[in-house]
Amino acid sequence: MRPIRVLDYDPAWPALFDAARRELLALAADSILTIEHIGSTAVPGLAAKPKIDLDAVLEDEAALAAVATLLPSAGFRAHGDPHGDGRWPFTREHDGYGLRLYLCAPDNPAHRDRILFRDHLRRHPQRAAEYQALKRRLAAKADGDWDIYTGGKSDFVAETLRLAALEAERFPCG
């Protein structure tokens, strides 16, 4: 099993995201509505696996299929839609870190949840610190078992999404 590495926050992560974003726009700007930096590397100060997560929101399902055919030429490996949630992951290793790109159509619920989760952690450093501590504990406990690591975060993620939704109801303008 591959070890699960959770590293201290690296201030280079936003620049790595930006470089990947520019590369994707050069490849398929006409089809991409937005590219968001998601996941733990998108939260300043938060420890993370050395993998930059990106969500690319495309115009529609046809654009998703078209862009998916372009990505292998840029070194990305396709993984289908493993969770059945309309997000198509692609990965690429790059100079000591990885890229995990998710293609999705507008109004994808999983994409909305990822943005909600990211933004809540950005606004609430104490919640982000709790998440960091949980991830470090799980990485040590899992001993390379990704199901333990990922599954162990699910309750925290669900509760954070619940808190974020309540906050959005109370303060609808941000």
Mean pLDDT of the chain: 93
The domains of the chain are located at: 13-170
pLDDT at 29: 94
The predicted model scores a pTM of: 0.92
> What are the residues whose beta carbons fall under 8 Å from the beta carbon of 140, sequence distance 6 or more?
none
CB 75 within 8 A of CB 95: no
Of 112, 146, 15, which Cα lies nearest the Cα of 120? Answer: 112
The residues, ordered by sequence, that sit 6+ positions from 156 with a Cβ below 8 Å of its Cβ are 130, 131, 134
CATH of domain 13-170: 3.30.460.10
Long-range (24+ apart) CB contacts under 8 A made by 135-138 are: 135/6, 135/40, 135/47, 135/48, 136/6, 136/47, 138/4
Amino acid 169: pLDDT: 84
pLDDT at 86: 72
- Which parts of the chain have pLDDT scores under 70? 173-174
* Burial readout 81-110 (b: 16 or more C-beta within 10 A, e: otherwise): eeeeebbbbbebeeeebebbbbbbbeebee
